[in-house]
Amino acid sequence: MRAIWFLCSILAIVTEGLRYKVDDREAVDPNDVPVTHLPVGAVHVSEAEWAQFLEENLEPDLAPWKVKAPLRADYVWNLKDDLYKRGGPLPGVWRVVLVWKNKLYWVERDHVQSVGSAPQDASDQIKSFGIRVTRWLTRGHLQLPDVLFMINVEDNRPRWCGPKQECVVPLISLGKTMDHEGNDTDILVPQLFFGDNTFYYHPWELKKDVAYFRGVPFCSGYWWNVSDTCLVACPRTYLAWRSDLDARTNRTPSYLDVGIVEPATLPWVNDTQGELYQKMKGCQPDSIPTVPRVGMWRHARYKYLLQLEGITFSCRLSQLLMTNSLVLFQRQPFVEYFYRSLRPWVHYVPFWTAKAHSRGDWNSLDDVYGVIDGLRRREQQDPKEVHRMVAAANAFATKFTTSYGRARYLKDALTAYKDLFPDMDQYLAQFVEGLKANGTWTSTGGQEPTS
């Protein structure tokens, strides 16, 4: 039954991930061997493997809160009030969620907004969370504890529960920052927006021997004061500029095939005066051409795939690990729920020696060239070494980042979160009874909860 569920879920999962219109007009030689698409079902993970995975990822998230426990369940509303005060009302990305009798409710203090599916003004990330979790719950594939929490699908660049903030209860987030200033205290759960149940295979000997990237020119603004002229380095735009410069100057051999799919004008950072854009522009003085969007399957045609930060973390990492290409991972302080189990030179190859907020030099932005040179030498000396890293990455991704792993991690994370609140069950019983007594245990969409 489990295998049938995962096989049937693959089409829905992949479809949910295709939020953008993909333009696959990039030239492909008609004589090329097609990329093979392999659906992935449930993969066995031993109890010992899973326990280690939780120890490396979930336990560090819980550690600062175990010191503060016991926590109060009603303080979830205090957290919402605090975030709205600091960041303004953002119902699209911040929502209070109630799980009650294994059903998902989107709630306010005095009423139920909707049941199962998220309210219409929620973001696509929130809506995908509601759709996927409700599907798992209603089909009996997931059992969640009765619990109240606030979920955050915002990129979390302001570090809402960072070391300089004092959140009263944990914020349930998709990503956070861990750096020299300290670690954010969010408890991470998997994003359910992009699908990861398809493996893309292309024969290694037919792959193009360059590092590949296609994406929106997002920028964290984290890497500033790199040099006198490069004041804000953005990995995506900088490497796209280098790639274009190499092509224009006929650099041989080729190293990069990096392209951005939208103009690099930073519209997402409210840079109304253009100050940040000008600082970034000093790192890549020439205009950068845009290229068409492409499907994830095309990435499998390249030996090396670049994992570059977005505004913070980039959700594509788990998808890149589901190809038989080698991931080159840009060093960064941003993490998703599974990052802390990944090991350099075991699952991926690190690059980007730039230091945050400190004056360095241009070489710190260009070390990817030396990394690729080193990998080419390694492949000549011992081809098995590179393939061992690819195999380790594939095994990890299929065990911990496909739907089965994400559902299991969500359950464990929310169960551990609930354990921090000894009054959670009592509070929820009173909360639900209060809504029923006031006649507000009905969603705004008119759906009446049955439990």
Which pLDDT tens digit goes with each residue over 45-95? Answer: 999 999 999 999 999 999 999 999 999 999 999 999 999 999 989 999 999
Provide the 10 A C-beta neighbour count for residue 394. Answer: 19
316: which DSSP letter? Answer: T
Bridge-based pairing of strands 187-188 and 172-173 is parallel
Can you name the residues that pair with 215 across neighbouring β-strands?
260
pLDDT at 444 over 60: no
State how far the alpha carbon of 19 is from the alpha carbons of 7, 23, 33, 51, in Å.
21, 13, 27, 34
Can you name the residues that pair with 100 across neighbouring β-strands?
103
> Which residue in 260, 313, 323 sits closest to 288, CA to CA?
260
This prediction's pTM: 0.90
Report residue 265 as tokens. 């004008």
Least confident of 88-97, 113-122, 281-290, 422-431: 281-290
Chain centre to alpha carbon of residue 400: 14
Spatial distance between the Cα atoms of 233 and 359, rounded to a whole number of angstroms:
12
Bridge-based pairing of strands 112-115 and 147-152 is unpaired
Residue environment code for 85-102, b if the CB has 16+ CB neighbours within 10 A, otherwise e? eeeeeebbbbbbbbbbee
Spatial distance between the Cα atoms of 197 and 7, rounded to a whole number of angstroms:
9
pLDDT in tens, 333-378: 999 999 999 999 999 999 998 887 666 666 789 999 999 999 999 9
State how far the alpha carbon of 18 is from the alpha carbons of 236, 346, 402, in Å.
21, 30, 16
Containing 337, the helix (H) or strand (E) segment is: none
Bridge-based pairing of strands 326-330 and 302-307 is parallel
Q: What is the mean pLDDT of residues 419-436?
A: 98
> Which residue in 388, 236, 413 sits closest to 338, CA to CA?
413
111: which DSSP letter? Answer: S
Sketch out the chain's domains with CATH numbers: 47-193+404-425 (no CATH), 198-401 (3.40.50)
